[in-house]
Amino acid sequence: MSSDIFMKNASPTKEKTAAKTKGKNGLENPKENPERNLEENLKDTFLDQTLRPSRFEEYIGQTAIKNNLKILLQAAKERDHPPEHILFYGPAGLGKTTLAHLIAKEMNTQMKVTSGPAIEKVGDLASVITNLNAGDILFIDEIHRLNRAVEEVLYPAMESGVLDIIIGKGPSARTIQLELPPFTLIAATTRIAMLSSPLRSRFSGGVFRLEFYSEEEIEKIVARSAKILEAEIDKGAAKEIAKRSRFTPRTANYLLKRARDFAQVKRTALTEQIVENALDLLGVDSMGLMPSDRHLLISIAEKFQGGPVGLNTLSAALSEEESTIEEVHEPYLIRLGFLERTSRGRVITEKACKHLGVATPASLSEKLF
Ligand code: ADP
């Protein structure tokens, strides 16, 4: 039971996508989500927003990006012009959306939020973009999921501040051009490789890659979140959460909330031992692997003799979407050195076999000698 709950809540992509169903005008309506009950939805959305840093000083880590942004924003302010378009990329839960909010706050401007899948048609984009005021920020999450037709309308909007709309079809079709107020597009993606290079090159303000956090940085994030949640936590407990957090702030906050629930129900303090018990119950092991990560690795080791195995074969064997494997599981497993991506497919490493306590496949042992 517990692992089911964990899988549903902890998969960053799923949690986020589910919470971001499309509302009117292609903008998101976080309340509309058929998969989860309303109360649960609102509670989590509320907590996420409560824990989100509201000033750059509260945003821990990613120092190089913060320093670059400070210069970009300062220069824009001095010129009294919106900053140029910015792209953030990296695994889910590392703080891309948070940075966009911080930029809007710093520029003292409004931010409209939408996402690639929410903008299905050119008309959806036109309606979002023509509703912007001068200086507004438009945030498009999962921009790699925009379709080509929409992308092509976005180019002139980003570059020259005009929207080309084709009216009618065939020989009588004509283009009208709408002037747009100056705005800044901030986009986020977990799949930079899926972005066409013309689109990438239009982010003239910068393309920034968010890195996984260090354990010390996550400890600081946990301590800050615990303070906001009014949960007393000792250093050992914060360390244990950090160790199992996949170096990802969103996961760290999720684990903290679940450990706090556990301590509350057991009428005990949030100690290292309690964190261990709570996270063991959720099926999160000492390296932060979830049951689904272990299932993936064990399948490669046992069903595919350690690999290489192609992504689509793996996806079929696990009944898991390819995008979930690529966006949720792989970045962390590769970072741990548990999985390798080769031209012939995915290969498990000896380190992973040792951690999981499974026999090292013969193909791997052969490679070692
Ligand atoms: P992404 O857009 O990359 O998926 P988010 O910006 O939604 O990630 O971040 C998820 C949560 O993690 C936020 O609500 C925030 O509470 C926390 N978070 C992310 N980055 C940081 C950071 N650098 N410092 C503190 N908390 C952070």
- Tens of pLDDT along 110-120? 999 999 999 99
Predicted local distance difference test score (pLDDT) of residue 166: 82
Active site residue 268: no
Q: At 159, is the secondary structure helix, strand, or coil? A: helix
Give, using CA atoms, the residue closest to atom 11 of ligand 1.
250
pLDDT string in tens for the chain (369-residue length): 333 333 333 333 433 443 344 444 455 444 444 444 444 544 556 667 789 999 999 999 999 999 999 999 999 999 999 999 999 999 999 999 999 999 999 999 999 999 999 999 988 999 999 999 999 999 999 999 999 999 999 999 999 999 988 888 888 888 889 899 999 999 999 999 999 999 999 999 999 999 999 999 999 999 999 999 999 999 999 999 999 999 999 999 999 999 999 999 999 999 999 999 999 999 999 999 999 999 999 999 999 999 899 999 999 999 999 999 999 999 999 999 999 999 999 999 999 999 999 999 887 766 554
Q: Using the atom order of ligand 1, give the atom closest to the CA of residue 99.
A: 6
Active site residue 250: yes
Ligand 1 site: residues with CB under 6 angstroms? 48, 51-53, 59-62, 92-98, 188, 221, 249-250, 253
Active site residue 141: yes
Long-range contacts of 307-315 (CB under 8 A, 24+ apart): 307/342, 307/345, 307/346, 307/347, 307/348, 307/363, 308/342, 308/344, 308/345, 308/346, 308/347, 309/345, 309/346, 309/347, 310/344, 310/345, 310/346, 311/345, 311/346, 313/345, 314/345, 314/346
pTM of the predicted model as reported, rounded to 2 decimal places? 0.85
Predicted local distance difference test score (pLDDT) of residue 47: 65
Å from CA of 59 to ligand 1 middle: 8
Q: Which residue has the tokens 């290969």?
A: 347
Q: Using the atom order of ligand 1, give the atom closest to the CA of residue 100.
A: 6
Å from CA of 95 to ligand 1 middle: 3
Q: At 198, is the secondary structure helix, strand, or coil? A: helix
User: With contact defined as beta carbons under 8 Å apart, do 49 and 39 qualify?
Assistant: no
d(CA 310, CA 313): 5
Predicted local distance difference test score (pLDDT) of residue 210: 98
Q: Using the atom order of ligand 1, give the atom closest to the CA of residue 61.
A: 23
Length of the chain: 369
Predicted local distance difference test score (pLDDT) of residue 43: 52
Active site residue 258: no
Active site residue 202: no
Pocket test for ligand 1, best of 113, 250, 251 (most atoms within 8 A of CB): 250
Q: Tell me the torsion sign for CA atoms 319, 321, 326, 327.
A: negative
d(CA 75, CA 81): 9
Å from CA of 49 to ligand 1 middle: 10
AA letter at 91: P
Rg (CA), the chain: 22
Predicted local distance difference test score (pLDDT) of residue 128: 94
Give, using CA atoms, the residue closest to atom 9 of ligand 1.
95
Å from CA of 184 to ligand 1 middle: 21
Q: Using the atom order of ligand 1, give the atom closest to the CA of residue 52.
A: 16
Q: Find all residues with CB under 8 Å of 62, minimum gap 6, and list them.
A: 94, 95, 99, 210, 211
In 3D, which of 236, 305, 248, 241 has the Cα closest to residue 272?
A: 236
